[in-house]
Chain A
């Protein structure tokens, strides 16, 4: 029993990170119909920039803030330099562009940060907390708490503020949003900035547990994508549920089946969703206009 609880706790911790990555996918997808494969690189950058800012002497909170702001700026730059110039291009081209951007970011990170594995200290100590025979790291509570705060904050933003509603309106119908005077290019920029910032924050929170290296982004991107698809692409609630399910299944695979193949869990989920329920758990059946 305590074993199950242990796997569940670690599954929820990584699941919270996957949920944040999935949320990033969702926001950009809603604003621009682009599936941004570079989403995982934002997580990597969040951890990486924090490591180096901290090593350069910045206190941890300041280093983390630097990382989030810098990554958000990079997200905006990516939108301006790579996505906007290709507006109206076929899906194939946009997929290749975001993959290209993610490989470019990874290559740059390898040059700047090196190939080593990096970490920085946990926020509030490393002593595990005991719960019912299982243990949880204080940092895991930071991760889970951080995810909860972001999801609640975004929910308030989308339902209670004018700007948030403008973003929602744009994702529903871009042209109609433009006609009622919503500045849709700004909404795109905002979505990329928020999505990159959220990814970076996830990276900051999880790095003391999972450590980071220049090439961790791809795994986060894939699992976040699996989560987003499982929940239903474009649905924030789906992102949360999908992330937690992927995280827990992965932890169970590692615990009960094989730790070597734990990464396979996310892909099996992708296949299962594509085979049986392509619209995801919370998604609607899509129809297209000719």
Chain B
């Protein structure tokens, strides 16, 4: 039987998530793994937006901030269950993305980059300044999701680290699966067509502005859910989640691994999440390294690591 690239990507992903814990020397690695999955989920959204639709956002952390603070605030103020707060955050992010994206995506070029950057900074400004609601820069506690206790009653006892590792892993697989399905759908093909040439896409009757808007809204939902999962597993969140640096991290991860492929984005997220854990001395150099990676990858490996490698491998086979 020959696997399609889609099922191959998903199978490898599931196998990696399921088998990696065998090699974990301590419980700490579950936590790092969960962090990789959370970042990879947000990056998958960037792949849809930047890799396929060819639009760049520098404010996606703002949506992660909305997702995160929805989980911190909605249960306390409105008594909404944390799990439903994830959906609430995603809906709020989608609406905001739609409102911001609609007028801007009619324009070409770098406008979305700037507008999204401004939007992200406005969101983090509100999170920092509205102390009465968000407790400002010091951060705020997040209620317990409660799912782990339910699983325990059902006879599935997991440590906190294990629980979040597998929950985030499942979220990533679902996210990757949805993204890959989208890529092969009519919408996905249209998105990649407009990336190739907007004029050509318009000539064959595609509603270019609407397609770009769809990609922007979908990717905002990915970022929002990723922010929610981060908040729920840390049980604490600060406005840094919505900060400019976090937005840039997302783009860098996607660009490093390969912004045109879901597998590439996940790979990039894994590398840039693990690197600081492995080399703690890098903390000082984080910005320097991020910046250098962005520039060098764009000049020398324009498609990112994974697609470049795949191409090399394919050439060798021939």
Hey, which bits of chain A sit against chain B, CB under 8 A? 35, 82, 85-86, 89-93, 95-97, 99-108, 110-111, 218, 222, 225-226, 229, 260-261, 263-264, 266-267, 270-271, 274-275, 278, 288, 290
Contacts and interface: CB of A to CB of B under 8 A. Distances in A.
B219 to A, nearest CB: 14
29 contacts: A91-B109, A91-B110, A92-B50, A92-B54, A93-B302, A95-B110, A96-B251, A96-B298, A97-B299, A99-B248, A100-B291, A100-B294, A100-B298, A101-B295, A105-B291, A107-B288, A108-B288, A110-B287, A218-B244, A222-B118, A229-B114, A260-B125, A267-B119, A267-B121, A270-B118, A274-B103, A274-B107, A278-B107, A288-B108
A27 B290 CA distance: 27
B118 A103 contact: no
B172 interface: no
Interface string B101-123: 00110011111011101110110
Contacts of A264: 122, 125
B142 interface: no
A99 B294 contact: yes
B291 A104 contact: yes
Contacts of A229: 114
A86 B135 CA distance: 44
Interface in B228-273: 244, 248, 251-252, 255
A111 B299 contact: no
Contacts of A275: 103-104
Contact of A267 (B118, B288, B294, B295): B118
B249 to A, nearest CB: 10
Given A85-B299, A274-B115, A101 B291 contact: yes
Given A82-B299, A261-B129, A267 B122 contact: yes
Given A107-B289, A107-B290, A278 B111 contact: yes
Nearest to B245: A103
A82 B302 contact: no
Contact of A82 (B104, B125, B295): B295
A86 B298 CA distance: 8
B293 interface: yes
The interface size bin for chain B is 35 or more
A104 B295 contact: yes
A107 B286 contact: yes
A229 B118 CA distance: 13
State the main secondary structure of chain B at its contact with A: helix
Interface of B: 50, 54-56, 58, 100, 103-104, 107-111, 113-115, 117-119, 121-122, 125, 129, 199, 244, 248, 251-252, 255, 284-295, 298-299, 302
B54 A90 contact: yes
Nearest to A219: B121
Given A100-B292, A264-B122, A107 B302 contact: no
Given A222-B121, A263-B125, A267-B122, A103 B298 contact: no
Given A86-B298, A95-B113, A103-B248, A260 B129 contact: yes
Given A91-B109, A111-B288, A267-B119, A96 B302 contact: no
A211 B182 CA distance: 49
Contacts, number: 112
Contacts of A104: 287-288, 290-292, 294-295
Contacts of A99: 58, 248, 251, 294
A30 B50 CA distance: 25
B80 to A, nearest CB: 28
Contacts of B295: 82, 97, 100-101, 104
Nearest to B54: A92
A267 B199 CA distance: 30
Contacts of B244: 218
B284 A111 contact: yes
Contacts of B292: 100, 104
Contacts of A92: 50, 54-56
A183 B107 CA distance: 32
Given A85-B299, A97-B298, A274-B104, A225 B287 contact: no
A132 B18 CA distance: 74
A103 B56 contact: no
A93 B110 CA distance: 11
A152 B8 CA distance: 63
Given A82-B295, A96-B251, A100-B292, A106 B115 contact: no
B35 to A, nearest CB: 21
Contact of B117 (A86, A105, A222): A222
Contacts of A266: 118
B290 A103 contact: yes
Given A90-B54, A274-B104, A103 B291 contact: yes
Contacts of A290: 199
B72 to A, nearest CB: 21
A233 to B, nearest CB: 9
B116 to A, nearest CB: 10
A242 to B, nearest CB: 14
A271 B115 CA distance: 7
A270 B289 CA distance: 30
Contacts of A35: 110
Nearest to B100: A271
B255 A111 contact: no
A107 B118 CA distance: 21
A182 to B, nearest CB: 26
Contacts of A91: 109-110
A7 B67 CA distance: 38
